[in-house]
Amino acid sequence: MTALVLGSSVVPVAIGIVMALATMVLVFAFLMLSGDNRTRLEKRLTGFGVGDGTSDEDDPFAPREQQLAETRVLQDLVGVTGRLADRVGLLNRVEEKLEQADLPLRPPEALFFYLAGVVIIFLGGLLLLSPPVALVLTVLAAIGPAAWLELRRVRRLRKFEMQLPDVLNLLAGSMRAGFSFAQGLEAVAEEATEPSARELQRVFAESRLGRPIEDAMEDSANRMHSVDLLWAVMAIRIQREVGGNLAEILDTVAQTMTQRERLRHEILALTAEGRLSAWILGIFPPTFGLILYAVQPDYMKALFEHTIGIVALGVSAVMAIFGFFWLRKVMTIEV
């Protein structure tokens, strides 16, 4: 009898979790696998030299955003979402994060489908499961894509930071070989890997349009949130004003970046235990509550049906969140 009751309480929760995970997996798979949105005729004609002969990878200014809303109704809803997000100042932040994560999506469409997915999971949980489970699944659906986007963005920015010393060394070597700064930048852009290659190609393309290279590099540094690149731009500006050996200056800046990166890794190793404790503190309470609700739902219902239980949940949640962010703050050391 106990096993039967346990099975009947676990099955709905398992169904809800599987439904939420399946929805997020489908969304992520669609975003990752959706590639070039040219028509079939355009793709076939490209092989015969029809068109401009360039690809999105070669042209840093090529439009890379993909249109997900095909019908008129979806386009209208996406437009309303974009206008509302623009009013509250959210659209620019979403656009910046999508660009930093290298996701070719239009910000209004990304916001609309994100909100639509959260609403669908919430309504599905209410109809098929219980309200507490629906609330938990909605929170997971809201946090999942945002966390994935932030993780992808941070990884790309960190990869750019790690590639920057090698890029500066290559640039310095090109200048020693007789190239000008612009020629060396073009050569390094062709040899570098992503994400440095795309950023350098964009800088070089802007310089060919008449913009100063220093300004284009400064915009790239702001776009990639790279303090190290800002240092390099500052060194280039100083060299342009007072003169000097630019190749040697770039080597010195690259060496400083390498030493700072080594120090960052040492700090990460020393603070690993504290950062792990912060994540355990943040993940354990909701996970334990969900397991307890699946095993003994009567215990958890008492917390939602009585005032003292609701107060206890609120106080516990506030303390857990405060402890998580406090530990993260203590373990975060800027270099």
Return the amino acid letter for 140. L
Q: Are residues 247 and 165 in the same domain?
A: yes
* The two three-digit tokens of residue 144, written as one number: 């999942």
Q: Are residues 190 and 248 in the same domain?
A: yes
Residue 205 reports pLDDT greater than 70: yes
| Domain finish residue from 235, 258, 281 | 258
Q: Are residues 162 and 231 in the same domain?
A: yes
> Any idea which of 4-18, 201-215, 284-298 has the lowest mean pLDDT?
4-18
Q: Is residue 69 very low, low, confident or very high in pLDDT (cuts 50, 70, 90)?
A: low
Q: Is residue 307 part of a domain?
A: yes
Residue 303 structural domain: 271-335
Contact 109, 70 (CB under 8 A): no
Strand partners, 66: 105
Residue 262 reports pLDDT greater than 60: yes
Position 26 scores a pLDDT of 54
Q: Is residue 67 part of a domain?
A: no
- Alpha-carbon separation of residue 134 from 7, 65, 101, 320 (angstroms): 19, 33, 30, 22
More confident residue, 65 or 250: 250
Residue 41 reports pLDDT greater than 50: no
Position 44 scores a pLDDT of 44
Query: Could you say which DSSP state residue 22 is in?
Result: H
Position 305 scores a pLDDT of 81
Q: Is residue 56 very low, low, confident or very high in pLDDT (cuts 50, 70, 90)?
A: very low
Burial of 257: CB neighbours in 10 Å, binned 0-12, 13-18, 19+: buried
Residue 16 reports pLDDT greater than 70: no
The number of folded domains in the chain is: 2
Spatial separation of the C-alpha atoms in residues 331 and 56, rounded to whole Å: 41
Q: Is residue 221 part of a domain?
A: yes
Position 12 scores a pLDDT of 54
Residue 54 reports pLDDT greater than 50: no
| Domain finish residue from 225, 258, 291 | 258
| Domain finish residue from 258, 279, 314 | 258
Q: Is residue 325 part of a domain?
A: yes
Q: Is residue 15 part of a domain?
A: no
Average pLDDT, integer, range 228-246? 86
Position 183 scores a pLDDT of 87
| pTM of this structure | 0.62
Q: Which residue, 290, 279, 300, 314, is CA-closest to 20?
A: 290
Q: Is residue 21 very low, low, confident or very high in pLDDT (cuts 50, 70, 90)?
A: low
Percent of residues, the chain, with pLDDT higher than 70: 78
Average pLDDT, integer, range 327-331? 81
Residue 278 reports pLDDT greater than 80: yes
CATH number at residue 192: 1.20.81.30
> Can you spell out the DSSP letters for 122-165?
HHHHHHHS-HHHHHHHHHHHHHHHHHHHHHHHHHHHHHHHHHHH
Contact 37, 67 (CB under 8 A): yes
Q: Are residues 178 and 236 in the same domain?
A: yes
Position 38 scores a pLDDT of 44
Contact 113, 68 (CB under 8 A): yes
* Tens-place pLDDT, residues 136-181: 888 888 888 888 888 998 898 888 988 899 999 998 898 888 888 8
Position 48 scores a pLDDT of 44
Q: Is residue 28 part of a domain?
A: no
Residue 229 reports pLDDT greater than 80: yes
SS3 of residue 9 by DSSP: helix
Contact 93, 133 (CB under 8 A): no
